[in-house]
Structure 1
Amino acid sequence: MTCETVLAAPDEMRTHLVDQLNSMLRRPGMYGDVEASMWIVVNHLLFLERRPEVWEEQKRAWSRQGGWSPTGVKGAFGSLLPGDHGHSVASVYAEFARRQGWLKPDRVLDAEAYAALRDAVRQWGRSDRVWADVTTAFGPPSVLFGGTNPFYGKTLGYVTEDPAQPMVSFHLWNGTDPGTEADWPPARTQPLLLAVRCGDGTFADSFTFTPQGRRRRPKGAEHPE
């Protein structure tokens, strides 16, 4: 006996994939290699939208900016931030998703609030901060990449109404320093802000490091600022 299967309509398939993408961005640790998972969903979405060439164009753009490596976006973070890069990688894919109309932010800053954030963040990000300092200064994020548990790293992303404007990402870390014994739970009750990332120039130049972030950059990395 043959079982008849009724396939979902294209619009239903797109809605499902967009929902999956937004879930992956917010909970990257739940999907193993989140970047590989993102490649699959992005390719399927662009196939549905009949725009498969967009993905190759985006990879070339990231490569020109220094944000792409043989291992993808995560390789570009290897010389900049320590530890697990899943939530940081998710923030880069969220920028791409935002431009495609796929990202569903929890909060969208109006033009005035976004301009104030951009004006302040470079100088503000040169001092040591923790998670609570970010949300006290700038409010809840548009997207929280990573869970709410303060014992884990995460990235806070802020977007405005204009998708052409870059996301402002705050990269937070809570882990064990190299050469020290792993401890759980971590001694810190709040993750440390290591860097703020924003801008359309080269990938490395888009980072503003806190003193804690500069101290924790991987060995052998160039240390600007």
Structure 2
Amino acid sequence: MKCAIITGGSRGIGRAICIKLAEEKNYHILINYTSNETAAKETLAKVEELGSTGEILKFDVGNAEETQKVLSEWQDNNPKAIVEVIVNNAGITRDGLFMWMPSEDWNSVINTSLNGFYNVTNFFIQKLLRNKYGRIINMVSVSGVKGTAGQTNYSAAKGALVGVTKALAQEVAKRNITVNAVAPGFIKTDMTQDFNEDELKAMIPANRFGEAEEVADLVAFLASKKSSYITGEIININGGIYS
């Protein structure tokens, strides 16, 4: 059984990625979520509607012990399963000006995005290397590439993932494992629902917010065999806002 794991897969871009990979029917879809079980079940139902298979894994990617425990139990229960695709999508925002930012807001954002990447990817990396095949896709952000005022913590977390992507890509390329990052701009999701779209789209050359499905199309390409000579790349998908 070949599998793809999507962290933060219950809603938004994560859900769109689960659905897109399910459409292609190459993988059993592992949908990770932390708190919204209803949303995770809805995503699984959509995956199954498409004739694909999947399951839900509840753990907080930022909690090393919990991640290790849940993934180890899953692996023990599915000894023949091989995870080929890892999409590190889980992330949170705690926006605010740096001068007033409590350490808790700094640490929680970095822990989820950056340590979450380590906890999940490190669990699978030796298996990918033995298998001599893999696709690791890190969801970053325009904030991690150019920096965004009011998001020093999020920009730091995503900027660190940019560095990780470039470094790890060089370590594992010989084993047919690619590591790339996707950097969305303003995409219509729960995370951006409070933004003033009319005001912000004036800044975007494409004059609109992106759709989660458009990001999912790019991720699905990077998760496929078609992208085998692309690695260590940060691909912006933002309607030209940062070009």
- TM-score between the two structures when normalised by the length of structure 1: 0.29
- TM-score between the two structures when normalised by the length of structure 2: 0.27
Please state which structure has a larger fraction of its residues in helix. 2
Structure 1 or 2, whichever has the larger Rg, is 1
Please state which structure has a larger fraction of its residues in strand. 2
